[in-house]
Chain A
Amino acid sequence: MTKLTCRDWIPEIVECARNGAQPDAKLESHLETCPKCAMRWEDEQRLSSLLQVAREAAAGQRSREARREEIMRRFALTPKQPARGSWKWVLSAAAVLLMGIALVYVLRSGGQTSTTAPATQQVAVASAEFEEVAGDSSEFVAVAYAPPLATGEFVSVVRTELQPRALARMGIYVDAAYTNPIPADVLVGEDGFPRAVRVVSEVEF
């Protein structure tokens, strides 16, 4: 076992005195035989007592009210920085507003029969009978909610591109994964309402 030197004992002497503890048996034994360390132990204990008195003196009552009021007055006069977070809220609100406008636009445009100007040929058909115009009725699918054609009403066949959403509203099933516009012929009455639709695309959707 390595014999401890005075240099090794000093940290323990200091910490003992700081904590107000008594030396253990080994340290006690060393202090009995080493005058230098014994003096250091006395010095440290005396110092710790003085430090305790100084702590108590510093913790004594002190009137802070005047100082506190003065610093609060200064605070009230100091120009303030804008909250960093307020910019986030402004930008977030703007983003929500823009998204809302875009959503309204998309929903409104999705209700229409086409997203592009129908570059189609309008066919004014003399006969207003749906079956005559539609030809093989199995190709045209009647739009479920449309009012019936009036006798003698003229219809137009409009070749256009329809969004899958618009087709779905007309009762034609479109896979949700398919998002491209679909070429279609739309039978439109004089009132402008679609009466039937016929998909002309070869692509499966």
Chain B
Amino acid sequence: MPRPFAESDEELYRQMRTGNQRAFAALYERREPALYRYALHMTGSRSAAEEVAQEVFVRLLGPHLHFDDRRGSLEAYMYGVARNLVRVMRRKGAVEEPVEQSIDHDILGDLIKDQATAALYRALDELPEHYRDAVVLCDLEERSYEDASRLMECPVGTVRSRLHRARALLASRLRPRQATAEAQVR
């Protein structure tokens, strides 16, 4: 997707640290929506996702930020912060409410969608973190393997194998009961 801004994330970050509000706003507009969606998929909760996305930027403003552009990109750093925040939230049991669904005129369709999506998020929730990360980034955020590899800070092959394994686990958990019974009979 073509970027409307010329500066890199790292350049915007440098400028915002010196008080450039335009640079901060540009970085926020560029990264916040994706960070929110990432947190939403990782937690299954809109309010938790809002909190995580906001907290990532609050931390960027903090005096004790440990971002070093020699060690990786700012984007990867921000996703790492978001991942840690999600981990802490889950450990504290702060993630409870299910994902709200978008408004649709078809009430039955909504119901089915809601139940199916809720089931998906329940199954996602039960996955180990590194498997969930792969599904969220590659399948829900539709990032390439290379992008996901940068954000997860592991090789592309690892991302691929984690994703395939995660999908196998999700698929088996989401398989309809009838199909499971048939499979057992076979």
Contacts and interface: CB of A to CB of B under 8 A. Distances in A.
Contacts of A84: 14
Contacts of B24: 72, 75
Contact of A54 (B36, B61, B117, B163): B117
B58 A80 contact: no
Contact of A50 (B32, B50, B58, B116): B116
Contacts of A54: 41, 99, 117, 120-121, 140
A17 to B, nearest CB: 8
B183 interface: yes
Given A47-B174, A56-B102, A76-B21, A18 B54 contact: no
A50 to B, nearest CB: 5
B158 interface: no
A172 B172 CA distance: 100
Interface in B3-49: 14, 16-19, 21, 24-25, 28, 32-33, 36-37, 40-41, 46
A146 interface: no
Contact of A53 (B17, B116, B186): B116
* Chief secondary structure at chain A's binding surface: helix
Interface size range on B against A:
35 or more
Contacts of A16: none
Contacts of B101: 57, 60
B142 A55 contact: yes
Contacts of B53: 67
B58 A74 contact: yes
Interface in A22-70: 35, 39-40, 42-44, 46-48, 50-51, 53-62, 64, 67-68, 70
Contacts of B17: 80-81
Contact of A55 (B57, B140, B164, B170): B140
Contact of B171 (A46, A70, A75): A46
A152 interface: no
A51 B139 contact: yes
Contacts of B54: 67, 70-71
Nearest to B63: A79
A20 to B, nearest CB: 12
B32 A64 contact: yes
Given A11-B164, A64-B32, A72 B117 contact: no
B64 interface: no
Given A62-B36, A74-B58, A78-B61, A50 B18 contact: no
Contacts of B130: none
A10 interface: yes
Interface of B: 14, 16-19, 21, 24-25, 28, 32-33, 36-37, 40-41, 46, 50, 53-54, 57-58, 61, 63, 99, 101-103, 113, 116-117, 119-121, 135, 138-140, 142, 160, 163-164, 167-168, 170-172, 174-175, 179, 183, 186
Given A58-B37, A58-B41, A71-B54, 17 more contacts: A14-B163, A14-B164, A18-B138, A18-B139, A40-B168, A46-B171, A47-B167, A50-B116, A50-B119, A53-B113, A58-B99, A58-B140, A59-B37, A67-B54, A71-B57, A74-B61, A84-B14
10 contacts: A43-B168, A43-B171, A50-B117, A51-B120, A57-B102, A61-B102, A67-B50, A71-B58, A80-B19, A83-B18
